[in-house]
Each structure stands twice: as C-alpha cells, then as structure tokens.
Structure 1
Amino acid sequence: MTSSAHHQPILDKPFVLDLFAGPGGLDVAGQLLEIPSLGIEWEKSACLTRYAAGLDTLHADVSAVRRESFESLPPDINVLAGGPPCQTYSVAGHGAGRQALKQVKGYIERLMAGEPDHEIDKDLRTLPDPRTALVLEPLRYAIRATTSPNREGRPYDVIVLEQVPAVAPLWQHYAKVLEESGLPDGTKYKVVVGVLDTETYGVPQTRSRAVLIARREGLGDPSLPAATHRSYEAKEWNRKNGTAEPEQAVDRIHQPTLDEGVAEPRNDADLRPWRSMRDALKKPVGSHPGRLKPFLVRSNYGSSGIPGRRGVRTDQQPAATVTGRISRFVVFEHLDENVVYEGPRFSMNEAGMLQTFPPDYPWSGTAQSQQVGNAVPPLFGAHLLAAALGIPEPDPEVLTKPWQQATEEQRAKLRSIGCGAADACTDKCPRAEDQVPPPSSVRPRKSTKKGPAT
C-alpha cells in the first residue's frame, strides 16, 4: 500500500538511531529532511567518511552497544532505522542467510516471547555465518528500549528497515509479530512491508529493496512512499533500442540525448520519467567535471538478481545496481563514428552521485567502492523516512549541491565522541576480524560445472 495523502506529521521532534549506518546514506536523508540522527557503524573507513561528512557517529558494534552501553544512547531517540548487512542474504553472497530463513523466524518468535538474551545468543553461535543474526538486531533494540531505565521504558515510535529483497519474508514475519503479539511488554505496531524499486523514487539506478515501516499503535496506519518516477523496464528499452553491446552500439552512442522520455508510463501518467546516468552526471558541479561525452557502461553484475537488468547500458538509461564492484564497471566512449574505446571509469564521486549522494561527499579510508555500494541511496532513504513520519517528500535538488564537509576541528570532535580520541581509534573501537567470519565458516557456492574437480 502506498499513499500520497495529505501530510500529517506524527512526531513533533523525530530523532533517528541509524543501526549499521555505513557511510551515511540514511543520515544524509535525515539532514535533507532536517531530522537529527545518530549512526552506529563498526567499519573504520565508513566511520572516517562519516566524520569527514560531519555526521554524529559511534564507532562500535551494534550488538555490543545493545548489550553493554544501551543506556548511554540519547533517551529522546524515537525512530529506529537501519539496514543490516546483506552479505548472507544477497544473491551475490554465499546464501547462508537465505538458507537459515526458517531458523531466523524461530529466533524472532523466541525474542517476542521474552526468552533471555543469553539463551538466544548461545544458539545463534551455531549459525554458519554470524552476520546472519544481525538481521535480528533492530528487533532486539526495539525490545531493549522498553526495559531501558534511561528511556523510562518508552518504546520507539517508528521503525524503518531496508534490506535486499531476499529478506522480505523476515520483514513480513517482523510485521506479523509486531502487529499480533507485540513486544514482550505488550507494545504493538501497525506495519507495512513491500519491495520497492529505487528508480521509481528518482534514483538514477535500478535497485530493489525490501522495506518495513512500522508505527506504534495510536500513531496511525503507515504507508509505503508513493512512487514519484516511472519504473524502468529493461525489456521495453531493449525492444525499442536493440542490443547494447559496445561493439554493436556505435550508432546509439551518437544519438542525441533523449529528453528522459524513453520509458513509457505504466499506470500513472503523472509520474516523472526515470532518471538516467547522463542526467545525474552530465553537469559540472563542485569538483565533478561533468560527463559530457555519451557513454556506455558494462557490468557483469545484475540488479537485485534480475537477469534482464544485466549487461551494458547507455548513459540514457539508469545505472545497474551500484555495488562494491562499481569501480570495475567498464565505461566506453566513442572515438569516431565507427569505434568505441574504454574511457575513464567512474570516480568515487560519480559512483556516489549515482547513489544520490551529493557531489563532493568526502569518501574516506579504504574500500571506498564497498562503502558506496553498501549505502542506502539518500534520496530513497528520505522517501522512506518522510512516509514513515508523515512529512512532505524530499526536494531532490538539494542533493545535487556539493556537500559541505566538516572542518578538521569538527572531525576531531566527532571522532573524540565516536572513537574516544580525536585522531585515532581506541580499545573501545571494534576490529573487523571480530565480526567477519573466516571463509571456511561460510558454506561455499555449489559448482555448476560438470566433471571432476580440478
């Protein structure tokens, strides 16, 4: 169910706790909507990006904060949000989470029944990949809030979650228990779950996400955000434009740029056309010089597991799903009327812009491609928050202006709070090896090749 009804804010002063906050997609969304947020993120480089962006951050393990320092969180937080790590559920991963869906549903039931944490934690340690259990953390935070002396037992008013489509069955189970049995203290929520396509919210990229929006009973029925743009249909594009292989696409790369009117509306003629890569990258802004030449992009990665979205796309189409492999996407430009050649690949600035991060967002540390790919597209996140809170949809033009980076003094202050020191991590900061399992603990993919192993 989606809604474009009259906006009626349900909270006077929303304050978001962003679990698994990454480099700041949901926090940028909050700033776009003028909503304060606090992010918890365990990966050091993502935290460095957040500090450089001026975002309030705790460099910490989400599970450890819940167990050991929940009472130190601001008591006026009333919106719980997050996107748990997707590696074990994503079609690009090994699938340990998908294989454990039934088990995880059982843990949801046990949590809602009020079973002690130590009993559940003992059993969770038997999962092949411990990251699978992180999808339970939002529920565990919601339960923890109702027993917090610092909060006087006040539950969160709103919950907003997003993940890869494979997690939709778990969000549906979340919805069932939140509505029917409620939290152990009796708090119930009204919940809506759906799988949404980001290009239908103005993101120049095809990316499908399973989302959950919950409101505490008494705050009205939630709705999914109403689409603002048309859906990208790969088959329709291919039918009209033919193949997009670089060697066969010279004629198309020389075509005049279309006025974003290629995709026909499916149901609502009032929807705006989906946004293309060219629309997102063509104009010089900040340090971005602009992608003025027509181009093609070849990716060997699909979009949310949909084969029809794989392959080569022109600058007149949305990007394929931006992942940690974005730096490997090959970009072709034209040399003359009969030749295409490999041009410069996407910079991190451009990759971020395809995710709707503002130009000059301060990507920092290592694994920057992974940071970009793992992030919630800020424009999409803003639509989710706006729908959840009953406030007007965001103005996307704000995200096209260069980001105002934090000063060195501001970074030092943020890191002093988030890490415990102005210029370094401390003993309280998590280590990557403490959370990522060794490769042998993850079930490998089954080979599709025939014959003896080599």
Structure 2
Amino acid sequence: MTSAAPHQSILDKPFVLDLFAGPGGLDVAGHSLDIPSLGIEWDRSACLTRYAAGLDTLHADVSAVRRDAFESLPPEINVLAGGPPCQTYSVAGKGAGRKALEEVKAYIERLMAGDSDETIDRDLKKLSDPRTAMVLEPLRYAIQATRSHNRQKRPYDVIVLEQVPAVEALWHHYAKVLETTGLPDGTKYEVVVDVLDTETYGVPQTRSRAVLIARRQGLGQPFLPEPTHLAYEAKDWNRRAERATSGVHQPTLDAEASAPEAAGPPKTDGVVLKPWKSMGEVLAAPVGTHPGRRTPFLVRSNYGSSGIPGRRGVRTDQQPAATVTGRISRFVVFEHLDERVVREGARFSMNEAGMLQSFPPDYPWSGTAQAQQVGNAVPPVFGAHLLSAALGLPTPDPEDLRKPWQPATVEHRAKLRSHGCGAGDACTARCPRPEDQAPARSSAVPRKKASVR
C-alpha cells in the first residue's frame, strides 16, 4: 500500500546495518538522507569501492559476523536492511528454485520456533547450494538482536529488504511469520510486501524489485514509497515510435513521440507523475569528469531480441536503460541512429553505467569486476525512496544524487580499511578468502515487460 498522509519520522536517530552491502547503493541512499550506515560485504573489490567512497564497512562474511562478532556491532543500530544473494531462487529450469523456496520457508518456521543456531547450521550444510541459506540471514540477525547483551536485547525497529521478483513469495512468508508468529522473544512487526518498478521512482532504468518493509508493532503501519514517475511501457513506446517513423521499425528520438500519452496529467493519490527518466536525460550534460553525451545514440543490450531474429534489445537515448546487470560492459552504444552503420560509438564507461543505476557521477568504482559491482547494486535513488518510506521521511529529491561524489581522502580510506580489514593498506587473515567466494553473478534480471522490439 502507499500513503498520502503527511510524513512523520518514526525514529529520532536512524542507523542502518546493511547486509550484503555491495559497492554501496543503499549506503549512498542513506548518505543522501543524512542517515549513517555500516555495511557488511565479503567481496574484496566491492569493499575497495566502498572504502574509496568513504563508506563504513566490514570486509566479512555476513554469517560469520552474526556468529562471532555480533556483540561488536554498534548497539545504536536500529534499522536492518539488505538484499541477500538470490541466484538459487530463479524460477527458470526444472523447479529447483521453487524447491529452494519451500526449503527456506521450512527453515524460517524453525527459526521462529526457537531452534538453536547450532542445529540450524548443521542442517543447512545439507543444502545443495550454500547460497540458499543466505536469504535467512536478515531473519537470523533480527532474532540475534533480541538476544544481544550489547543491545540490551532490543529488537530492530525497522527492516527493509529487496531482491529480484522471484523472491517475492519468500518475502510474503517473512511477512506472515513476523506479523503472526513474531520473533522468539515475542516481538512482532507490521509488514508490507510488493514488487516495484525502479523507473517509477526516477531511476533511468527498467528494473523490478521485490521489497519488504517492516516496522516493529507500535511504530505505525508501514507503507510503500509513492511513485514519482510514470511506468515505462514497451508496447506503448513501440506503437508511437512506429507511427512517428511511418511504419519503419526504427526507434525514434523525436521528443514529441517519446512523450507519454495520457488523458490529462497522470496522477496517483493526487500527485502528478513525471515522465520516466531517459538515458539521454541523465547522460547528456557534462558533470564532474563525465564529458556528457549530447549526440543521439542507440544502445544494443546483451540480451533480449524481442522476437526479431538477429537483433538484440535496442533502445534509444530517449528511453530508460534496460536492466543494468553485470553485462552492462557488453552493451554496444551506437552514436547514430542506424545500426547498419559499421562504425560504433564507445561502450558505456563505468561512470556512465553507475549513473544509469542512479549513482552520483564520479563514484569511485575500484578493484576488479566493476561492471558486476554496478549491476548488483541497489539503485541509490530507489534505495532512498525505500528508506524514506520505511522511516516516515519526506520523499527524497533525486537531484541530491546528481552531484559529483567526493571520494574519501587517502587518510580516511586507510582508516576505513583498517576498521574493515584490519590493516590500512591490505586485507588480513580475518578477511574472507577469495577462493571461498562463489563466482559473482548478477542479481538483476531483465524485466520482460520492458523489452523493446
């Protein structure tokens, strides 16, 4: 549900613990809202990006922190957030994903019934893919908070989770047990779950996410963030594009053709919605070190032929980007309007790829697999809307994230790494070993309804 009621902050001093924090999408969102955060991330390169960005980070396994170092976490943390790995829940294939969902639901019931961590951990070792257990971690952290002496056994006030749409069924099960069963200490939450489209919140990209927002009982009914922009509809775009080009199937850059068709200004709850943001709108102007892309362009993605043989999904600069995944580095950018021309423009830079995810310009992408970091991140503008709704804050201004990011100084970076890794210039024995990490894969799935013919 959404709410048109006046916003009223439900917490005096929110402090976010970001599990599976990646390169910092949700933390950047918090930064734009003046909300402090601590991220836990085990990928070395993502941590290097976070240190360069000045984000407080623990280079660690989320499960290991819960087991061995939970009491060392700041006791003032009152918001739990995160997006656990989701690859094993894909609905593709022969039902393995659905089987994983049912397995996890059974473990959720056992956790809420008070089964010991030792028993749960022993049985989780029997799972065919260890990543299946990761989606349990937010719930296990919520339970651990009620047992922590450092926290005086205080439960988290707010929980915010997001993942691919395939995980929606699991979030609904989370909601059921949080509302009806409650944590083992009796704490219950009010919960809302839905699948939201990021372009309806000002992200220049079509991307769908299953979200869960929970508030501890007594803090008011939670609500989903209100859309601020129109949804992108591929069929509507194609119809107008074909009409504007006299039946020739060629996407158009005509501004009039790209304007949404509606009977009067579209509204939701009395709020006039803005047109969705396009790639061209975000990338055209020079900002920071970004030189700007003023020349009209086409983008051919690495996926989605949309039924046309020999052609991948193609969008113009007047459309939002296709879902940004780890394949963003393979997208081909044509700096003209005819794919048949052999000469190609450059691919997106990592700075531009980050901007299509709504990261600020000049965000300091570091380490290796930078495209994978970009693709796996929570879009900061979307994250800001989630946090604002969860905490009862005013609707965020996306322009706050359009200013160039100021990276951390060398000294600050060393201080952050000393805290996160144990040394100011290197990883230590307490850091996760790269050989223990599963191969990185994108957690973003292209949205079928947003494909372009």
TM-score by length of structure 1 reads 0.90
| 1:88 positional shift | 2.1
Tell whether 2:272 aligns with 1:274: no
**Alpha-carbon deviations, 1:6-57, whole Å to 9, x = none?**
0110000000000000000000000000000000000000000000000000
**Alpha-carbon deviations, 1:364-409, whole Å to 9, x = none?**
0000000000000000000000000001111111111100100000
Tell me, in whole angstroms, the C-alpha distance in 2 between the residues paired with 1:167 and 1:352. Answer: 25
Tell me, in whole angstroms, the C-alpha distance in 2 between the residues paired with 1:289 and 1:91. Answer: 41
**Alpha-carbon deviations, 1:168-204, whole Å to 9, x = none?**
0000000000000100000000000000000000000
Corresponding position of 1:181:
181
Decide whether the 8 Å contact of 1:204 with 1:318 is kept in 2: yes
* 265-274 vs 76-85, which moves further: 265-274
* Correspondences of 1:305-384 after superposition (within 5 Å): 311-334=313-336, 339=341, 341-384=343-386
Relative to 1, partners in 2 of residues 1:153 and 1:18: Cα closer, same or farther, differing over 3 Å? same
Corresponding position of 2:431:
429
Corresponding position of 2:80:
80
Consecutive unaligned residues of structure 1, counting only runs of 5 or more, are: 440-454
Tell me, in whole angstroms, the C-alpha distance in 1 between the residues paired with 2:170 and 2:260. Answer: 36
Decide whether the 8 Å contact of 1:335 with 1:341 is kept in 2: no
Decide whether the 8 Å contact of 1:260 with 1:274 is kept in 2: no
Corresponding position of 2:404:
402
Consecutive unaligned residues of structure 2, counting only runs of 5 or more, are: 442-453
Q: CA RMSD for the aligned pairs?
A: 2.6
Relative to 1, partners in 2 of residues 1:6 and 1:259: Cα closer, same or farther, differing over 3 Å? farther
* Correspondences of 1:126-145 after superposition (within 5 Å): 126-145=126-145
Tell whether 2:6 aligns with 1:6: yes
Decide whether the 8 Å contact of 1:243 with 1:249 is kept in 2: no
| 1:339 positional shift | 4.1
Tell me, in whole angstroms, the C-alpha distance in 2 between the residues paired with 1:53 and 1:438. Answer: 21
Decide whether the 8 Å contact of 1:332 with 1:340 is kept in 2: no
Decide whether the 8 Å contact of 2:302 with 2:327 is kept in 1: no
Corresponding position of 2:24:
24
Query: Quick one: which amino acid aligns to residue 429 of structure 1?
Result: C
Query: Quick one: which amino acid aligns to residue 70 of structure 2?
Result: F
Decide whether the 8 Å contact of 2:194 with 2:211 is kept in 1: yes
Corresponding position of 1:206:
206
Decide whether the 8 Å contact of 1:415 with 1:423 is kept in 2: yes
Aligned-residue sequence identity (percent) comes to: 76
Tell me, in whole angstroms, the C-alpha distance in 1 between the residues paired with 2:156 and 2:340. Answer: 60
Query: Quick one: which amino acid aligns to residue 54 of structure 1?
Result: G
* 83-92 vs 24-33, which moves further: 83-92
Tell me, in whole angstroms, the C-alpha distance in 1 between the residues paired with 2:130 and 2:98. Answer: 13
Corresponding position of 2:449:
none
Q: What secondary structure, in the 3-state scheme, does the structure 2 residue paired with 1:342 have? A: coil
Tell me, in whole angstroms, the C-alpha distance in 1 between the residues paired with 2:5 and 2:307. Answer: 35
Corresponding position of 2:302:
300
| 1:324 positional shift | 0.3
Aligned length: 432
Decide whether the 8 Å contact of 2:417 with 2:424 is kept in 1: yes
Tell me, in whole angstroms, the C-alpha distance in 2 between the residues paired with 1:273 and 1:177. Answer: 38
Relative to 1, partners in 2 of residues 1:92 and 1:418: Cα closer, same or farther, differing over 3 Å? farther
Relative to 1, partners in 2 of residues 1:260 and 1:154: Cα closer, same or farther, differing over 3 Å? farther
| 1:267 positional shift | 5.5
TM-score by length of structure 2 reads 0.90
**Alpha-carbon deviations, 1:272-325, whole Å to 9, x = none?**
11000001100110110111111111113359xx999x7111110000100000
Query: Quick one: which amino acid aligns to residue 43 of structure 2?
Result: E
